[in-house]
Amino acid sequence: MKFMPGLPVRPNDAFLEEIIRQKDHIYEVYFSWGSFASGRGTAQADGLAEWEILEKQTADLQRLSDEGIALNILFNGNCYGKDSQSRAFFNGIGFTVDSIASRFGLSSVTTASPLIAKFVKTNFPDLKVRASVNMGIGTVEGMEYIADYFDEYYIAREKNRSLDTILQMRKWCAANGKTLFALANSGCLDNCSAHTFHDNLVSHEQEIAAMDNAYDFPGICRDHVARRKEAILKNVSFIRPEDIHLYEEFFPAVKLATRVSRDPVRILRSYCVGHAVGSLPGLLEPDHTALFYPDLLENSLLPADFGEKRLRCTKNCISCGICSEAYQKALVRLPDSL
């Protein structure tokens, strides 16, 4: 299996070196650019100027390009506000894509906007255009509706554990010259009713940060998992490193969420070797490890057949008990809290 890690929003030289060490396992590296909304936070919150971010990112992209690693640029914000259809906005996208492609090479573009997809396909026909996982495409119909705009798709997070859906979508892609990918390590709740709202906030985070805000919104998932810790297994459709082999026949590569992780090196290394010891939530983004303290949900203690059983999950939690049993087996008390 090949992997698609993302460049962190904060410069991380150790992770860059790990990507290069693992380049035989890398399908491509994805990244955001400048002030374009991209579904994740930006480093401006740490006091870095945009020119400092771009200067470091330019050096990193050059390094990856020199190593022959394919690149994918993100325009997958959930909302671009008043710019969503503006001529100046698309001129900016065109200039950015052309500049990066000519300097470093570019293999594909990921977006959640059908208009951006149409623009890229029209003006950069050599680039593949991929539908973002944020679009939540989990049916053949969902792919058919936008087939004129996109060459590739990420399957909805929730469908990682639906073998029938994966097979149906893959069959359609094969018959229509399309390609299907998955996101392996999302920590988001399945079918989260606040997901669109949260993605919209992230898209406008710089504007929001400048306001006198009455509320913070870290996401519904944190409160839910804090109250019902077994939800991390029941309601989050991640694919563990140990279970990646189950998906090799379905996807040419899987995406790894690493852009805001505290330890992206561990994530990439774990998936490349197919095994991880330590916090299971720590492999995900967002990372809910702290919610389990003083306990740790130890990834290596989950049953060996957990991934295979969940791939064929019937969603009948009342009469099943697989996740509850796995949770109890994997939960350990940290030594310094005994």
How many of the other CB atoms lie within 10 Å of CB of 95?
Answer: 10
Angle, helix 264-273 to helix 13-21, in steps of 10 degrees: 10
Query: pTM of the predicted model, to two decimals?
Result: 0.94
| DSSP letter assigned to residue 184 | -
Q: Answer yes or no: is 314 within a domain.
A: no
Query: Within 10 Å of residue 328's Cβ, how many Cβ atoms?
Result: 10
What pLDDT was estimated at residue 45? Answer: 45
Answer yes or no: is 249 within a domain.
Answer: yes
Total domain count, the chain: 1
184 assigned to some structural domain? yes
In a domain, 92, yes or no: yes
For position 70, which CATH number holds? 3.20.20.120
Residue 259 structural domain: 2-277
Q: What is the pLDDT of residue 53?
A: 81
From first to last of its 338 residues, the chain has per-residue pLDDT tens of 999 999 998 889 999 999 999 999 999 999 999 878 776 655 444 566 777 888 999 999 999 999 999 999 999 999 999 999 999 999 999 999 999 999 999 999 999 999 999 999 999 999 999 999 999 999 999 999 999 999 999 999 999 999 999 999 999 999 999 999 999 999 999 999 999 999 999 888 888 988 999 999 989 999 999 999 999 999 999 999 999 999 999 999 999 999 999 999 999 999 999 999 999 999 999 999 999 999 999 999 999 999 999 998 887 777 788 999 999 999 999 987 55
In sequence order, what are the residues at sequence separation of 6 or more whose Cβ sits closer than 8 angstroms to the Cβ of residue 115? 84, 85, 90
Q: What is the pLDDT of residue 43?
A: 46
- Among residues 24, 12, 43, the alpha carbon closest in space to that of 263 is found at 12
The reply to whether 305 falls in a domain is no
Does residue 127 belong to any structural domain of this protein?
yes
Classify residue 177 by burial, with Cβ atoms within 10 Å: 0-12, 13-18, 19+: exposed
Q: How far is it, in rounded angstroms, from Cα 4 to Cα 243?
A: 17
Place of tokens 């049993």: 325
Whether 255 is in a domain gets the answer yes
- Helix (H, G, I), strand (E, B), or coil: what is residue 257? coil
Any domain includes 142: yes
Q: Where are the alpha helices (DSSP H) in the chain?
A: 13-21, 50-66, 87-104, 114-123, 140-145, 163-175, 195-203, 205-209, 220-227, 231-234, 264-273, 306-311, 322-330
pLDDT value of position 36: 82
